[in-house]
Structure formats: C-alpha cells, structure tokens
Amino acid sequence: MQTFEDYQARYSAYEQIRFRREPGGLILFDLTTPTLCASFSLQGGQLLAFQHQGQVPLLWLSERAAMAPGKAIRGGIPLCWPWFGPAPDGAAKPAHGFARNLPWRLTSVLAEDNGWVVRFQLSDSADTRALWPHSFEASLTYQLGRAVRVDFCVVNLDPVPFSMSYAFHSYFPTADINGVEVLGLNGCDYYDQLQGMRLLHQEGGIRFAGECDRIYVDAGGEYLIRDAVAASELLIQTENCRSAVVWNPWQEKSSRLSDMADSAFQNMLCVECGNLGENSIVVPAGGAHASAMQLRYR
Ligand code: TA6
C-alpha cells in the first residue's frame, strides 16, 4: 500500500493536488483548479466534497465526520458494497459492507479536455476475504467538470459467481429539509424501513416532515432534488442502477449519531442509487458489473 509520502512524491509536479493526513492517519487529497475544487479520502475511494465555479457545494459532509481509519465518513459519496445494510449472512460484520472503511489505491489523476478524471482501485485481501470470501477487482472512476460522474466497476476473479448489493450513499446539502422535494420516484414501490419494511407505493414527489428511510425498487434511475429555499435543482442520473434509497434521520436519530450535529438533519438529504434488495446483482465467474451516476445542478 502506498504511503502518504509516496503519493506526495508521485504527484509533486501537480500544483492542483495537495495531500493531507488526518490526525488518525487518513490520507485525503484536494484537487483545486480555476473551475472546481474537490476533496477525496483514500479510505473508501470517497469523494468528500465538490464545488464547481459559480455553484454551491454539490455534496454535504458532516462537520463531525469521524475521520478515523475504519470508520465510515459521514458525507460525500460513501460506497456501500459488497452489501447494503446488514451483512447478508447475518454475521456481525460492518453495516453497508467494507468498501467505505478500507483504503483504496489512487491509481490515476488526469487532466482532460472537459475536466479531471480520478481513479481508485480496491482488490481483495485477507481482510476482505475474511468478511466476504471472494476475489475481485473494484474500481471507482470520477469525472469532475460541471457535473460529477462516478463509474463503479466490479470484476469477479472467482471461479464461481458471487452475489452483491451496493449503493452510492450520496449526501446532499439542503437549505432547509422542510422545503425539499424529491422527484422521479412517482409510481415506484418502496420498502419503508421505519415500518418494518412494509411495501408501499409512491404517489407524486417525496417531501419531508420527519425521519424517512425508504428503499425503492425497480426505480427509473433519474431523480431531482428540488430545494425551494436554496432555489436549486440537483439532477441525479444513473446508468444500470435499479434501486434508490431516500434517507433523512431527522431530529431524534441525528442526536443519536455521534458523527452528526443534532440539527444537521435540516441541511442534508441522502438519495442513494445502486442495486440492492430484489435488484441485487449476481456477477458470473470472470464477469463484471458496471454502473454509473452523474450529479449536477440544473
Ligand atoms: O441510508 C439508508 C441507511 O441504511 C439508513 O437506514 C441509515 O442507517 C443510513 O443508511 C446510514 O447508515 P450508516 O451506517 O452510514 O450510519
């Protein structure tokens, strides 16, 4: 695994890139150009923050995020993989899988005509195989410009198929959650995690007046977060993602989360895209699964 010093040396010629190390040892890096600024953690290959010139921030990051190795960072776009929610085998394993808790390799940072491309990779290891007995190669590729596009790819290096579920667990900023509506899920069925996974049907847009934790299945793949107070519309477009999760912890749960300020629920919303539950994926031996998500203000 490359060290902080290795990365600093490797990218020392890039004036746009600055590596920094958190007190607990997490390696982060900032990409700052005349048109955009982004921050990543090598843990999780996670985009933590992004803002394009003339725009408000695209993502929300908890001011109390525990920037500690092995602890999920609450904000940006954590990747929940190779399972979403509790471990499918019921064992005492990390909720939402291990991808967001492990250091990924930063394999390239490239300036291209219409922006920058940042790529991370994660391979199986003794640690991952102890949690999930499969060999794989996973990659996250971010294309940063007026929009943020993230491509996720998993290759199954096993001689047998494996099943997986995942989500881009995206955290978005809201000026006031009470003035937010999520569009694009009208007509979809969803499991309400607050009602024991009761199956319900979405009519119209989603508005918020309390805790919300819904798993939409066979969703259309394109969603809009309309923020009346911020007068903003954030467009989420996906490729090959059949599920969507909408989550706001509201007051009581926020106050129980050590890595979230009590009132922070008013200024954030998760709309998560991926494939989970009945949309989970089986990757054949030697096969691959790829999906993508694009985020931008309209
Ligand atoms: O966003 C859906 C969800 O599964 C919620 O139930 C809540 O647990 C959230 O993820 C956050 O999970 P985390 O493990 O990041 O605290």
Instruction: Tell me the chain's radius of gyration from C-alpha atoms.
Output: 18
Q: pTM of the full predicted structure? A: 0.98
What DSSP designation does 210 have? S
Beta bridge partner(s), residue 56: none
Mutate to test the pocket of ligand 1, among 197, 245, 247 (most ligand atoms within 8 A of CB): 247
- The answer to whether residue 207 scores a pLDDT higher than 80 is yes
Percent of the chain with pLDDT over 90: 97
- How high is the pLDDT of residue 114? 84
**Catalytic residue at 201?**
no
- Residue having the nearest C-alpha atom to atom 9 of ligand 1: 247
Q: What is the mean pLDDT of residues 157-161?
A: 97
- pLDDT(1) > 80: no
Ligand 1 centroid–CA 274 distance in Å is: 14
Residue 22 known to be catalytic: no
Among protein residues, the one with the nearest Cα to ligand 1's atom 1 is 247
> What is the whole-number distance in angstroms between the Cα of residue 120 and the centre of ligand 1?
23
Confidence of residue 4 (pLDDT cuts 50, 70, 90): very high
Percent of the chain residues past pLDDT 70, beyond the cut: 100
Task: Answer yes or no: is the C-beta of 95 below 6 A from any ligand 1 atom.
Answer: yes
- Per DSSP, the residues of 114-149 read TEEEEEEEEE--HHHHHHS---EEEEEEEEESSSEE
Q: Which of 96, 134, 272, 289 is catalytic?
A: 272
DSSP the chain: ---HHHHHHHTTT-TTEEEEE-TT--EEEEEE-SSEEEEEETBTTEEEEEEETTS--SS-B-TT----TTS--SBS--EEBS-SSS-TT-SS--TTBSGGGSBPEEEEEEEETTEEEEEEEEE--HHHHHHS---EEEEEEEEESSSEEEEEEEEE-SSS-EEE-EEE--EEE-S-GGGEEEES-TT-EEEEGGGTTEEEE--S-EE-SS-EEEEE-S--SEEEEEETTTTEEEEEEEES--EEEEEE-HHHHHHH-TTS-TTGGGGEEEEEEEE-GGG-EEEPTT-EEEEEEEEEE-
